[in-house]
Amino acid sequence: MFSKILIANRGEIALRVVRAAREMGVATVAVHSTADADAMHVRMADESVCIGPASGAQSYLNVAAIVSACEITGAEAIHPGYGFLSENAAFVQVLEDHDITFIGPTAEHIRVMGDKITAKETMRKLGVPCVPGSEGGVPDLQTAELMAAEIGFPVIVKATAGGGGRGMKLARSAADLENAFRTARSEAKAAFGNDEVYIEKYLGTPRHIEVQVFGDGRGRAVHLGERDCSLQRRHQKVLEEAPGPAITPEQRAEIGRTCAEAVARINYAGAGTIEFLYEDGNFYFIEMNTRLQVEHPVTEAVYGVDLVREQINVAAGLPMSFIQEDLRLNGHAIEVRINAEKLPNFSPSPGRITQYHAPGGLGVRMDSALYDGYRIPPYYDSLIGKLIVHGRDRDEALARLRRSLGEIIVDGVDTTIPLFAELVEDPDIRAGNYTIHWLEDWLARNLA
């Protein structure tokens, strides 16, 4: 086991990693920007190193400073959290060259899954169901027209290098295709410096279902069921739950086995998430995230495992602590993402927290780096906390969500807590009856 690890992140996820490491007897090094000198992750870690000025590009993305921090402190491994450098293959390559262990998959796996066409091709070959579409980049409009006619309208034109929902254009009919093709290409060029696009069948009313997988890097892998993350605003997840209300035990076992076998065959190491659109009983692969997800705690709640501990173990060369048969789904969990944002426009609301009180009690987990008097800096993501509730069934989880939303106090800034207080009363949410468009429609009706 490592004696010391460095956490190349901030906020609640840095704290999350400190907590797992401390339980394992592993010392931690926090890194921080000048704007985060007073942050909770810095206070909670055993040591800390300032790695640059406020801007993320000069601090949490500053590879040279992070590698130096490792060398100065003698940290043997780096946990990247999510975001920042967590899916940066070049960073992982640099660590390999410096004999620092990356707590995550290999640079090669990150590279393969980071390119959407290669990812899809790899998954298709591994037997994972994909959205019907072009089997590679589409070079020109004429090919696009042929492909679209074959797939059938509506189709979606997507950037190979895409991310964050950019470079994606819908064509409802042949008349829309030329425009969709040209705009997707120019957006992709502007956003990613690569104008390659591909075409997929457009699914009208899907749910977003993602399967948690975990591999030991030596050909063994398990799945930990699915999460339904359909409630999204601008392609950003807002509320996640496990298990998915629309997924049957048989479907879970089947898609789970398919995903676990796929990652076992490529010797995948650590935590990964295989994302699908789900419609009419069918799963369609869209992408794989080669890291820990924001919403991992709902899976931890229902399977009773510590995914970060498991990541650290596997990175240290130890076997996974469970096999598939050990993993039993227990009850239901829901997570809501609390952002410092002002409704109805979700504009960022940084500032000083005058009072903070976390909810508690049976089945309630609050992952947050807030404290009384903390000043939320304006430079980073607006996520300030994740409230995760667990119950014996979905109704109990909803009752705990309602109860704990009533207990939270976050004063001094605007937050998305009032949104969740309304959502938890909505008949569709209570029935688990929603698709990826539900929240945008609801917001247009209720907050406009």
Report, as residue numbers or ranges, the catalytic residues: 291
Q: Which is nearer to ligand ADP, 22 or 201 (CB)?
A: 201
Q: Which is nearer to ligand ADP, 117 or 408 (CB)?
A: 117
Q: Compute φ and ψ for 278, nearest 5 degrees.
A: -125, 125
Question: Nearest 5°: CA angle at 292, between 165 and 437?
Answer: 35
Q: Which is nearer to ligand ADP, 2 or 346 (CB)?
A: 346
417 touches 368 (CB < 8 A) = no
Rounded-to-integer distance, Cα 434 and Cα 231, Å: 8
Burial of 422 (0-12, 13-18, 19+ CB in 10 A): middle
413 touches 376 (CB < 8 A) = yes
Rounded-to-integer distance, Cα 5 and Cα 58, Å: 21
Q: Which is nearer to ligand ADP, 131 or 358 (CB)?
A: 131
Q: Which is nearer to ligand ADP, 177 or 408 (CB)?
A: 177
In 140-202, alpha helices (H): 141-151, 174-192
* Least CB distance to ligand ADP at residue 52 (A): 27
* Least CB distance to ligand ADP at residue 151 (A): 10
Sign of CA pseudo-dihedral 360, 362, 364, 369: positive
Rounded-to-integer distance, Cα 350 and Cα 412, Å: 9
Binding site residues, ligand ADP, CB under 6 A = 131, 156, 162-165, 168, 200-203, 208, 235, 277, 286-287, 436
Residue 164 backbone class (left: φ over 0; alpha: ψ -120 to 50; beta: rest): left
Could you give the strand order of the β-sheet that contains 197-201, starting from the edge strand earlier in sequence? 168-171, 155-159, 197-201
Q: Which residues contact 156 (CB under 8 A, 6 or more apart)?
A: 168, 169, 170, 171, 199, 200, 201, 202
Rounded-to-integer distance, Cα 203 and Cα 10, Å: 36
**Residue 111 Cα distances to 106, 223, 303, 329, angstroms:** 9, 22, 29, 32
Q: Which is nearer to ligand ADP, 126 or 329 (CB)?
A: 126
Q: Which is nearer to ligand ADP, 81 or 114 (CB)?
A: 114
Any idea what DSSP says for residue 54? S
Q: Which is nearer to ligand ADP, 287 or 300 (CB)?
A: 287
| DSSP helix/strand/coil, 176 | helix
CA 173 to the chain's CA centroid: 33
Rounded-to-integer distance, Cα 132 and Cα 151, Å: 7
Identity (one letter) of the amino acid at 430? R
Could you please report the per-residue DSSP string of 204-269?
A: SS-EEEEEEEEEESSS-EEEEEEEEEEEEETTEEEEEEES-TT--HHHHHHHHHHHHHHHHHTT-E
106 touches 269 (CB < 8 A) = yes
* Least CB distance to ligand ADP at residue 183 (A): 15
* Least CB distance to ligand ADP at residue 402 (A): 27
Residue for token pair 């940290």:
75
Q: Which is nearer to ligand ADP, 191 or 316 (CB)?
A: 191
* Least CB distance to ligand ADP at residue 165 (A): 4
Closest CA to 244 of 273, 213, 211, 271: 211
